[in-house]
Copies of this chain bind each other. A is one copy, B any other.
Amino acid sequence: MATEKEFLSEYRLSDYERPSVTADVAAFMIRSEENSSYRRNPENKLSLLLIKRGGHPFKGMWALPGGFLQSDETVEECALREIKEETDVLPVSIMPVGVFSRPDRDPRGWIISSVYVSIIGDESVKQVAMDDASDAQWFNVSFEKDGGGGYHLELSYEDIVLNAVLTEESSGFGRTFFSIKDSGSLAFDHAAMIASAITALRRAAESYDTIFDFLPEEFTLSAFQKVQETILNTSFQPANFRRMVSRYVEETGSFVRGQGHRPAKLYRRKKQ
């Protein structure tokens, strides 16, 4: 009878066929768009990083950034590494969305993907000024229920518009997965990944913790509110929103001036 040490010295993993494993990341950013009137606060848009595929398969189509898992890292580390490579920014937060593993999901062969949501915060954004000719671009995101039980995902960047249609497949346990009716020129099963990622992001954004990752150190309550409204695609009464978040923030003492209206107090996150 072999000891564990003897067993391991002779053990070979080659008995089983092995899949390739990738990590794909849905990296979100909030973009502020300056407004016409000097008085108006900037509008916010939720945007998502996509990469134009340079090679086969799905050549020329848009896809989530991602790459193959290496044997010296965890899947989370792989996801973070991919984002860093594409944006030069290391995200604060990363959240698992699910494993996409249908055997036919990749025409190259048996490749399963672990998908993450990440948030690129406001501070970092300034460094991420992307070259217009680059293969990596931030797309504006719209994701809504359409009339007949389906969902419509629209991603747009300048004159490029990707339209995908999905239906809810399973939603037990607070997670939602989608099946693709029309992939809208997104590569692989990435339309479904993006839909799941947005659902997970919105769910997480209901607790305010997540929102802070999108904000700079010091922020106004209006900015805070706009970010949450942008993610959740809803709106709040300012008075109620202030009351709701008051537990989580504290005043810094400084103000934002020069905006054509009453100066706003700056707040920071309150450490519990």
A residues lining the B interface (CB < 8 Å): 2, 4, 7-8, 11, 13, 16-21, 55-59, 68-76, 93-96, 98-99, 101-103, 107-112, 114, 117, 172-175, 200, 203-204, 207, 209-210
* A and B contact pairs by CB, cutoff 8 A, 8 listed: A11-B56, A13-B108, A18-B19, A18-B20, A19-B21, A19-B71, A21-B21, A96-B99
- A71 CA / B104 CA spacing, docked (Å): 10
Residues of B within 8 A of A21 (CB): 18-19, 21, 112
Question: Given the complex, which residues of B lie within 8 Å of A13, measured CB to CB?
Answer: 20, 108-111
Given that A13-B108, A71-B17, A175-B95 are known contacts, is A57 also in contact with B101, CB under 8 Å in the complex?
no
Q: How far is the CA of A4 from the CA of B58 in the complex (A)?
A: 8
Contacts A20-B18, A173-B210; A74 near B56 (Cβ below 8 A): no
State the CA gap A8–B76 with chains docked (Å). Answer: 29
Among A73, A101, A108, max chain B CB count under 10 A is at: A101
Residues in B with CB closer than 8 Å to A114 are 99, 114
Query: How distant is the Cα of A8 from the Cα of B203 in the complex, in angstroms?
Result: 38
A220 → B minimal CB distance (Å):
24
Within the assembled complex, what's the spacing in Å between the Cα atoms of A108 and B54? 37
Complex Cα distance A107/B111, Å?
24
Interchain CB contact under 8 A, B172 and A4:
no
When distances are taken between beta carbons in the complex, the residues of chain B under 8 Å from A112 are 21, 69, 75
**Bound CA–CA A2/B55 (angstroms):** 10
The answer, among B4, B20, B96, B203, for a CB contact under 8 Å with A98, is B96
User: How far in angstroms is the closest Cβ of chain B from A270?
Assistant: 17
Asked if residues B209 and A172 are in contact (CB atoms below 8 Å), the reply is yes
Interfacial chain B residues near A71, Cβ < 8 Å: 17, 19, 103, 110
Contact A56 B2 (CB under 8 A): yes
The interface residues of chain B lying within 8 Å CB-to-CB of A109 are 11, 13
Contact A72 B204, beta carbon cutoff 8 Å? no
| B103 with A73: CB separation less than 8 A | yes
| Residues of chain B within 8 A of A16, CB atoms compared | 20, 68
The answer to whether residues A75 and B99 also contact, given A93-B172, A173-B210 and a CB cut-off of 8 A, is: yes
- Scoring A8, A13, A75, A173 by chain B CB atoms within 10 A of each residue's CB, the highest score goes to A173
A74 in contact with B103 (CB, 8 Å): yes
